[in-house]
Amino acid sequence: LDKLKAERERGITIDIALWKFETTKYYVTVIDAPGHRDFIKNMITGTSQADCAVLIVAAGVGEFEAGISKEGQTREHALLAYTLGVKQLIVCVNKMDSTEPKYSEQRFREIEKEVSGYIKKVGYNPKAVAFVPISGWHGDNMLEPSENMGWFKSWAIERKEGNASGKTLFEALDSILPPSRPSDKPLRLPL
């Protein structure tokens, strides 16, 4: 998704990028927000426009620990998303192909437990959050269930508006509830 020359050279996202696709229920606009600490203002700009946040957590040893540490970006992004009013969350545990052993259920469960504890402190209800193990590089559990993670039966969310379950990120996106919009109120336009 990194399109700017500086983004490709440095291997990080600097500015927000938009791209669109359709699920079976929704027209989705992805706002790819920077994860790097130096560009947090750009992340806030993108997140403040979102109906749902997809928190991408790296499963690699050391990567996850850095993100969830006291000064880590995983913690900061979850907190900012909630603070900015994004009340629906999906957590994708990415790079499952780089765990030891590859596609490790134990590593996924460890990350799920740790992130659940943190997002609960922030204000999210972990039972209303889909946790999906994925490999973006190989496409595992993105659109279709992965044969590499036969142990993963499904994600499940419980909420007063109705429960949902599925196996993929695509299905998790379809489970998002559209926020109520005050269409009977005057238009508010940020400048």
Runs of H (alpha helix) within the chain = 5-10, 40-47, 63-68, 73-83, 105-122, 169-174
Domain residue extents for the chain: 50-174
For residue 179, say if its preceding peptide bond is cis, omega within 30 degrees of 0. no
Pick the CATH number of 50-174 from 3.40.50.300, 3.40.50.1010, 3.40.50.1370, 3.40.50.170: 3.40.50.300
The pTM score is: 0.85
Rg (CA), the chain: 17
Contact in structure between 109 and 131 (CB atoms under 8 Å): no
Q: Quick one: tokens of 112?
A: 């799920």
Does the pLDDT at position 53 exceed 80? yes
Determine the longest span between alpha carbons in the chain, in angstroms.
55
pLDDT in tens, 145-189: 999 999 999 999 999 999 999 999 999 999 999 888 788 888 877
